[in-house]
């Protein structure tokens, strides 16, 4: 079976504990019925290792959700995405000035996008988790291009100030890895893990 079939088989209906429209669209495009419920938790971290941070935050979000809704009817998935560039971990910008600085840092070079997920199955109270990385290369950008993009507001709430499925797509010259990891939900990784459950 391909990734789509595997995910729909295991997750025909699920709760997405995230406000990310992109993650919801990814799951719905696969054929899942998605119920969105917001979850809040502390996203501070003390590590510079992308895989560890996003995995920890995804699990922290899941635990926060389960603390509030301890008997979900359907599987629950949470996720987190961060960017590693120049030895720094970069999350969502606090304001337009930080967004400008983030985009300026990326321009003309490659960075790594880390996305992780945590998935809870109420039947058996089982949790599976995983993460993935993809490389994104930006074109050279000028101040006019960056400022016009910032005026549009798509930087808000986005790791690294951009969403690959939005206007910033034109900034990108090359992607190495799973496109959905850059979107924010590593579908190929999720599919591989769910497939491995069938052989257990």
Using one digit for the tens of pLDDT, what is the confidence trace for 2-52? Answer: 888 999 999 999 999 998 999 999 999 999 999 999 887 666 655 555 688
**Which residues are bridge partners to 134 per DSSP?**
113
Q: Residue 178, CB half-sphere, CA atoms under 13 Å: how many?
A: 20
Please tell me the predicted confidence (pLDDT) of residue 26.
95
Please tell me the predicted confidence (pLDDT) of residue 138.
97
Average pLDDT over residues 79-92: 91
| Segment holding 172, helix H or strand E | strand 172-176
| 139 to 110, 133, 174: CA distances (angstroms) | 9, 20, 9
Number of domains in the chain: 1
Is 91 a residue whose pLDDT tops 50? yes
Higher pLDDT, 34 or 196: 34
**Which residues are bridge partners to 113 per DSSP?**
83, 134
Residue 198 — very low, low, confident or very high, per pLDDT cuts 50/70/90?
low
What CATH number did the domain enclosing 63 receive? 3.90.950.10
Please tell me the predicted confidence (pLDDT) of residue 51.
85
| Segment holding 144, helix H or strand E | helix 143-152
| Residue 169 structural domain | 3-197
- Three-state DSSP string of 72-103: CCCCEEEEEEEEEECCEEECCCCCHHHHHHHH
Please tell me the predicted confidence (pLDDT) of residue 57.
93
Please tell me the predicted confidence (pLDDT) of residue 93.
95
Please tell me the predicted confidence (pLDDT) of residue 200.
47
Say whether 80 is catalytic.
yes
**How does pLDDT run across 151-186, given as a tens digit for each residue?**
999 999 999 999 998 899 999 999 999 999 999 999
Higher pLDDT, 127 or 39: 127
- Among candidate residues 42, 44, 56, 80, the one labeled active-site is 80
């Amino acid at each position: 079976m391909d990734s789509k079939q595997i995910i729909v088989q295991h997750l025909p209906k699920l709760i997405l504990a995230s406000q990310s429209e992109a993650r919801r669209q990814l799951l719905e495009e696969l054929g899942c019925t998605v119920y969105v419920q917001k979850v809040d938790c502390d996203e501070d971290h003390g590590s510079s290792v992308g895989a560890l941070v996003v995995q920890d935050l995804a699990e922290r979000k899941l635990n926060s959700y389960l603390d509030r809704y301890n008997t979900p009817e359907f599987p629950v998935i949470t996720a987190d995405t961060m960017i590693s560039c120049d030895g720094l971990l970069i999350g969502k910008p606090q304001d337009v000035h930080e967004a400008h600085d983030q985009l300026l840092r990326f321009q003309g070079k490659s960075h790594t996008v880390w996305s992780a997920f945590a998935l809870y199955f109420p039947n058996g109270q089982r949790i599976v988790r995983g993460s993935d990385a993809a490389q994104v290369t930006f074109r050279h950008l000028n101040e006019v291009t960056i400022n016009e993009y910032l005026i549009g507001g798509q930087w808000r709430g986005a790791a690294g100030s951009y969403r690959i499925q939005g206007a910033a797509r034109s900034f990108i010259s090359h992607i190495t890895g799973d496109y959905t990891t850059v979107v924010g939900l590593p579908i190929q990784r999720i599919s591989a893990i769910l497939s491995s459950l069938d052989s257990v």
